[in-house]
Each structure stands twice: as C-alpha cells, then as structure tokens.
Amino acid sequence: MKNRLKSFSAMLSSVVLTLFGLTVLTFLIGRVMPVDPVIAAVGDNAPEDVILRVRAEMGLDQPIPVQFLHYLNQLVHGDFGMSVLTKNPVATDIARFFPATFELATAALLLATLVGIPLGVWAAVRQGSFTDQAIRVLCLAGHSVPVFMLSMISLLIFYSALGIAPGPGRQDIIYDGMIPTVTGLMSVDTLLAGDLDAFWDALAHMAQPVIILAYFSMAYIARMTRAFMIDALKGEYVITARAKGLSGLKVVWSHAFPTVAVQLITVLALTYAGLLEGAVVTETVFSWPGIGQYLTTSLMNADMNPVIGSTLLVGLIYVGLNLFADILYRLLDPRVQ
Amino acid sequence: MVSRRNFLIGSAALPFLSYLELADTAFAATPKDILVVAQQLDNMTSLDPHEGFEAVGGEMISNMYQKLVRANNDNPDQVIPVVAASWEADAESKVFTFKLADQKFSSGADVTAEDVAFSLQRAIKMNKSPAFIINQFGFTADNVESLIVAKDAKTVTLATENPTSISFLLFCLSANIGAIVEKKVVLANEVNGDLGNAWLQKNSAGSGPFMLQAWKASESISLQLNPHGPYKGNLKRVIVRHVVDPSSQLLMLQKGDVDIARDLTSEQLKAAQSDKDITLVRKQIASLVLISLNQTNANLAKPQVWKAVKWALDYDGMQKNIVPLSHVVHQSMEPLGFPGTVKDIPYKRDVEKAKALMAEAGLADGFDITLDHYSAQPYPDLAQAIQANLGEIGIRVKLQSAENRQVLTKMRGRQHEMALSAWGTDYFDPNSNAEVFCINKDNSADAKKKPFAWRSSFKDDALTAKAEAARDEKDPAKRIALYEELQREFMENSPFAVMFQTTRTAACRTGVEGVRLGVLSEGNTYLETKKA
C-alpha cells in the first residue's frame, strides 16, 4: 500500500512538472517569437498611441518574469486569459472547439482500432505471404501519403465527382443555427434535438474526415499489432498451446492476443492523443472547427493566450492518456508491478 | 439460415449503403432566400464598427451599419449620401452642418441626430485602432461633446480644429469609424463604462441592410435581413462560412453548396473562368505590393539605387506569369479607384539604364542585400523573380521568407534591408496613403508616429510639406491636382518601388446578381444582391 502511494505521488509530481515545463516553454516561445502580439491585436495600421495603450493593457510592457508570474496566477485561478481574435475567454473557446475534435478523433480511433488490429493480426499470422505484403503496402501508403492529399482526393472523388458525400463543414447549411448546442458533439446534439435528418447529415459530414484520419491511424496500429503479434507467436506458451493441438484461431486470439492487447494500450493511447491534438490539416481541408484549427489560427495571428491554453490542453491529454495507459498496463500485466 | 460469413459481409455493407442514402438529404441546394458565402474569416477581431479594423470585419460592419455618406465605388471623386441627406461648410470651412435623411435602425426606431452625434463621440472616446481617421480633425475625448452636436432631431454639426477640406472630411466619415449606432440600445448594454463595446463586438445595433444573427469565431457569421433597412431584394439571410482552403471553396461553389467563393487564388480562378455556372465579379482593391528599401543601409540610401531597382524590375513579366488574375501592374502610391490616382506606368524593365544608374552611384560591382518577404503565395514567386532581375544589375539578393506578421514586425522595428510586402489603405481619401508614405517629421527611433516611411527611415521634408498642403487644400479640384503631382514625385524620388495592385474576385454561381466589391472592404456589400 505504501509502495502504491509512493508510486502514485511520483506519477502525480511527474504530471505537474511536465505541465509546468510545458507552460514555461510555451510562454517563453510566445514572448520571444518574432511577431508582435499587439500588432496582431490592433492591426498593422494602428497608430502608435493605441499600440502603446494596448501593450500596457495586455501587460506586455512588464518584464517577462513578471508577465509569467501574472499568467501563472491566472492559471491557478482557472483563467486562461482572453483570446484577442474571438473576444472570448480561452476556456470558453476550448469548450466550443474541443468537442468537434473529440467527436472526430474518437470516431476515427474506433474505426482505426476495429480495422487495424484484425489486419495486423492477420498479417502476422500470414507473415511473408501475399496477404502480409498487401497489408504492409496498404499501411505504408496510409502512413506516407500526406493527409491533405488524401483529403483533397477524397473530396474530389466522393463529393465533387460522384456526389455521394457532403462537402466541408460539420453540417449542411440548412441546419445552421437550428440545433441547440448541448454537448458540442453534433451527432449527439442532433439526436437530443430530436432531428433525425440533422443527425444523418452530421454523420454524413463526419464520414470523410473520420475515414481519412482512421486510415492514417489504422496504418500505425496495424503495423504495431503485426510486430507485437509476430513476437507473441514465437512465445513458448503459444508453441505449447499449438503442441496441445488447439486450433490456429484459438491460439492466436485466446493465447497470443491478450499479450499483444496489453502492449497495444500505449499505442492506442498515443494514437488517440495524436488525434485529439487536432488533425490540423484534415480540419483545414474539411473546414472542421476543431481545436487544431483554433490552435493554428491563433498561432498564425500571434494570439498567445489560446496558443498556451490549447497547448496545455494537448499536454494534459498526452499526460493523462499516458498515465491511463500506464495504470491499465500495471493492472493487466502483473509483471510490470 | 444466414451464414456467419454472409452476416459479416452484410454488416460491413450496411453503413456504406445507408451512407449512400444519406446523399439525398445531405445535398439540398441552398435555399433561394439564403445567400451562402465561403470566405476566410480568421483574422476578424471585432464587429464593433468603432473598433473593427480588418478587411473581413470591415465588410461585415459595412453590411450592418450606415454612415453619413459612403464612397462611390464607380466614381471615386464623389461620395453617396446615406444617413446624411445634404451637407454644407461655413465660410471658414470649420463648421460642417449635416441634414439627415429618413432612415431606421433594425429596432424600428428612427436614426436621429442624437444617434449620429453619439456615434461619432463614441468613436473618439473609445479611441480604438481606427479612431485616428476622425480624430485627426482635432476631436478629443474632452472636447468632442462640444464639437459634435445634435442641433435638432435631423441636424448635426461638426466643428473641426482647423479649416478643413470638406471632401477630406466626407471621405473620412465614409469609413466604418463613421458608422451610426443606436444610442439607446448601445447604452442599455454598457458594462463598466465601455460604451457597449463588449456587447457590440458580438451584436449589432445599426441601420444597414442586415443585422447580426450570430458570429461563431473561426466558424461562421450569420446576418439576417434588417426589416426596416434599405435592402429591397429577396434575401432573408446571408451566411458566411469560414472555409480556409481555396480549393475547398471552389469545390463547394461548383457543387452549389455555396453561392459565392471569396478567396480563390489564380489557380482556382483559371478553373472558375471556364465554368459556365460561375461568374466572376472583379475589383482592384486598395492593397499595393511594393518593395521598401531601408535607408539605414548605405547602399540603399543612394537615390540612384532607388531608380536602378525600379528600372531593373520586369513588372509585366511578373504580372503575366505569376499574378495574371490577382494583380495588375501599378506604380503609384495611391490605388486605382481612389480620387486623383495617377495611372502612369513610367517604369519598365531597362537593364542598361539600371546598370548605368548603379555605376553612377559608384556601385558598378553591385552589393549583397537581404530581401524579406511574406511566405504565402504569390510573394515567394515574386521574390524569386525580383532576385533574378536585380541580380542582372549586380544586386545580389538573399531571400528571407517569413509569415507576414513576422515581416511586418521586423519592418516596424526597422530591422529589414529590403522588404517585399503589401500595404492596405485605411480610408477613402488620398491623404490616407500620402500620410503614411510621405509624411515623416520625426525619424528618431522613439518617434510618436511611425508611418510606413518611418519604418524604412525615409524622411523628405519637401515631400512632407507637399503632402500636408494637398491634405489641407480646400478647393477639391486643386486638391486632386496637388495629389497627382505628389504621386509623380513619389514615384520618381522615393525608396519605394510600388509594383502591383491587388485584384479581388468574388466567384458567384449563376443566378446570384448584384454583388458589389469596393476598393476598400467597406465597399463590399450585399445591399443590391439578389438570388434567382
């Protein structure tokens, strides 16, 4: 028990330190980057007196350590500051943009996992065969073709040429302003509003970006599954199971896969974190108002509070999912303990 | 009995088949009374007309508010009366009286002189970025209530500090900073003495053709018809969707998911030009592409080098090959479409002449220099062409690409040597650009005013005096003549090589008519737009 507590407090302090380090780093980058945030706020043509006044209002006339302490104090009180671009508190913006990414990322991860793991297992079982080669080529393409290219090709074929998929955006224009925001997840909010047409429309809009992101993630998951599985299939317990005369399917899924599954936890956690970080390019091509688009737009406009806020959120997600994977790993594999 | 294999195949096919079925519900054409626009909305910071100072925000504001007068996009020498029915100046050209026309706010209330006076006073008191456009007439937070006065329900007077050209005053009042807001509504939403600023950033209280329904930053803006406003067409709503990628904009336009695409680049415009379902509305806007030579560099400080650079550039070649649909060759500091703009194109590529000027400057062997430029197209391509052109006269250019705000920050810090950048004009009067390019009275590092000329350490007292004289000239015709003279002198004797003027295009689906683009974004209006 004492050991567990010790290990838990070590984990917690590691999380706090990571987040603090991230805050310091992002803050410093924001302050030394060669773009003046005041110009970004008031425009390049603003007169000098306005620039000086806004600089003071934003606290940028203070020494950097003072600015940092002030910012930390804000953070401790749960205040991420205001966004110059949206005129909203950063926390409000994140609450608006994050669900869009969450919806996309979760659906993509589910699809990628459902397809990627069986493919990886299949490839491993048929190692060296034509099936294995074909799956490897499929995964290589998924990982090496730029996502923006896949997105554009997908739009050109399914939206423009065939007309069987909707265009960019989260929903059709006729539903604009019609669905009250409850969870921020369009697929859920449309159901809560009792509007089935809008629900199908939301799903249809999600399909292309989800499939593209899932393909990208699936390629990684399948490759890792294949590698883990090849290792697992060489294990003595698998050889023993085979020697006992168990069927191939039973050996693979009941004996080898549980070991692979434990190893895959970290892979899935990191993939999910990567997806939640905001599939920036996909969000751009599909006009998907998610956290990735929010982060990049803010960065391009030197709007630093959202940049730091979003970066912290992404950091928190990475740390949180890593921690979750770690704990799960320990629970499922007693050897780690 | 369904086999497990068939069950699995069926399950896999089901989502795909139902997806095909969705196609019908997902692609209904845009309704006839809703105009859907695809546009990049990411640099918009405020919809308060007395604060917003960016192009996209300016356009939205212009569709929600009226001003005393507005610029005439077709005849730049005139302004069009809007809230003001008529105006006159006193004998000294210091007191200007405006009689108001009958207009109504979206609330249904009449636009009164009190609203007009309050609005202009508010702009001065808040002193946000665009306030300088009207506080240059001597208005301050302390004196504005006594200088801008509602005499009766339909009469407003403005008293300026110094005698003022009425055309100058009117052009300045045509900017969005001159927008009229409804006093009662704005004050009802005031928080901590902010004059309703926080509320107006996300709401509207104007008398323009539309009113703000919703603004979701980086997502969309919805405008709805002002039932009491001046719009007479069949639109009930205008929805502007934030679509960053121009290729996506074109696809959406071609599919009919949007009625207008606003940010197509040359590449997409070529495709749009040959599409029979698309018409292009084009306008040269007040944005100039120019090279600035920083005068702190000893080589760049030589007037012969200024001219050598101007004679070395292949303006036509660059326009035809790099920016055929998005820019035109333009060499004056005043944009086409402005009052008194000189259309002369005196500089053409003449390598021998440029080389002779370099020799005259004692730089026959040339010199090394760095050119900063924006990283977004077409600037990198233009920069490479400039590098090749200048290389032929011995100027060895090293290119330095960066995001545009980074280049602007560097220029504001006077840290560049040569810079290829863009300049957008603030308001519809030649003084707007003359002031930034010609008037630099204090060239010290901590100067209170840091106009574009200051950023390149260019100070010419004679040019400053001429620009001020043109600004203050009362006779409109003579004023224009002075500006024409000033532009020619600037072309000849300044370290700025103005090369191109930007052309904006609104690509519209057939059936969408009456889209107007202005020289300034304030002129982009859906006031006359109809959808068949």
pLDDT at B76 over 90: no
Residue B436 near residue B453 (C-beta atoms within 8 A): yes
Lowest mean pLDDT among A76-85, B25-34, B171-180: B25-34
Of all residues in chain A, the one with the smallest CA distance to B258 is: A173
The structure tokens listed for B110 are 């009449």
What's residue A297's pLDDT? 84
Cis peptide before B378 (omega within 30 of 0): yes
What is the average pLDDT across B487-514? Answer: 96
Distance CA(B215)–CA(B257), nearest Å, equals 20
State how far residue A173 is from chain B, nearest Cα, in angstroms: 7
Residues of A in contact with B403 (CB under 8 A): 35, 300
Q: Do B406 and A173 touch (CB under 8 A)?
A: no
CA distance B352 to chain A (A): 38
pLDDT band with cut points at 50, 70 and 90 for residue A6? confident
**What is the pLDDT at residue B16?**
44
Is the pLDDT at B416 greater than 90, yes or no? Answer: yes
Are B222 and A297 in contact by the 8 Å Cβ rule? The answer is no
The arrangement of strands across the sheet holding B155-159 comes to B84-89, B95-100, B155-159, B148-152
Taking CB atoms and an 8 Å limit, are B222 and A176 in contact across chains? yes
Q: What is the structure's pLDDT at B15? A: 46
Amino acid at A90: V
Q: What is the pLDDT of residues B461-487, one digit of tens each?
A: 999 999 999 999 988 899 999 999 999
Q: Do B26 and A172 touch (CB under 8 A)?
A: yes
Count of all residues that appear for chain B in the document: 532
Over residues B148-163, the pLDDT tens digits come to 999 999 999 999 999 9
Beta-carbon separation of A204 and B128 below 8 A: no
Judge: A156–B251 Cβ closer than 8 Å, yes or no.
Answer: yes
Q: Looking at the partner chain, which of B20, B255, B450 has a beta carbon nearest the beta carbon of A159?
A: B255
CA of A36: which chain B residue's CA is closest?
B409
In the Cβ-directed half-sphere of B128, how many Cα atoms lie within 13 Å? 27
**A282-291, B362-371, B380-389, B505-514: the lowest-pLDDT one:** A282-291
User: What's the rounded mean pLDDT across residues B361-382?
Assistant: 94
Q: ipTM of this predicted complex? A: 0.78
Say if residue B80's pLDDT is above 90. yes
Confidence at residue B7, expressed as pLDDT on a 0 to 100 scale:
46
| Closest to B202 measured CA to CA, from B371, B44, B39, B83 | B44
The predicted pLDDT at position A1 comes to: 61
Mean pLDDT of chain A: 86
Helix, strand or coil, per DSSP, at residue A210: helix
| Assigned token pair, A65 | 């350590």
In order of A53, A62, A245, B198, B471, the CA distances from A32 in angstroms are: 20, 14, 66, 30, 40
pLDDT at residue B403, as a whole number: 83
Residues of chain B found within 8 Å of residue A47, distances taken between Cβ atoms:
129, 132, 449
**How much is the pLDDT for B483?**
96
For chain A, the straight-line distance linking the first and the last C-alpha, in angstroms and rounded, comes to 12
Q: Reduced to 3 states, what is the DSSP secondary structure of residue B526?
A: coil
Which residues, in sequence order, are CB contacts of A11 under 8 Å at separation 6+?
A323, A326
Q: What is the pLDDT of residue B17?
A: 42
Partner residue facing A168 (CB), from B213, B252, B412: B252
Helix (H, G, I), strand (E, B) or coil at B247: helix
Residue with tokens 């603030």: B426
Q: Tell me the pLDDT tens digit for each residue of A254-287.
A: 778 888 888 898 899 989 988 887 677 888 888 8
Task: Give the residues across from B81 on adjacent strands.
Answer: B69
User: What tens digit of pLDDT does each residue of B19-64 get?
Assistant: 444 444 444 567 889 999 999 987 777 899 999 888 889 999 999 9
Distance CA A54, CA B528 (A): 38
Secondary structure, 3-state, B78-141: CEEECCEEEEEECCCCCEEEEEECCCECCCCCECCHHHHHHHHHHHHHHCCHHHHHHHCCCCCC
Of B198, B222, B424, Cβ closest to residue A177? B222
Alpha helices in B325-399 (DSSP H): 351-360, 379-391
How far, in Å, CA of B187 to CA of B473, rounded?
38
Tell me, what's the pLDDT at A334?
67
Distance (Å) from the C-alpha of residue A203 to the closest C-alpha of chain B?
Answer: 9
Selected for mutation to probe chain A from B251, B410, B439 (highest A CB count within 10 Å) is: B251
Query: Does the structure show a pLDDT above 50 at B123?
Result: yes
Cα Rg of chain A, angstroms: 24
Predicted confidence (pLDDT) per residue in A139-165, tens digit:
988 888 888 888 989 999 999 888 899
The beta-strand segments (E) located in A45-191 are none
Q: Which three-class secondary structure state does DSSP give residue B289?
A: strand
Question: 0.80 cut: is pTM over it?
Answer: yes
> What pLDDT was estimated at residue B217?
82
pLDDT higher at B234 or A233: B234
Q: Which residues of B touch A297 (CB under 8 A)?
A: 42, 218
For residue B94, pLDDT over 80 is answered with yes
What integer is the mean pLDDT of B284-308?
A: 96
Q: Return the residue matching tokens 């793991």.
A: A117
pLDDT digits (tens, 9 = 90+) for B306-338: 999 999 999 999 999 999 999 999 999 999 999
Alpha-carbon distance A3 to nearest alpha carbon in chain B (angstroms):
48
Residues of B with Cβ-Cβ distance to A57 under 8 angstroms: none
Give the CA diameter of chain A.
85
pLDDT for B58: 92
Tokens linked to B523: 């002129």
Contact between B315 and B349 (Cβ < 8 Å): yes
Separation between Cα atoms, residue A301 and residue B431, nearest integer Å = 29
Asked if the model's pLDDT at residue B289 lies above 70, the reply is yes
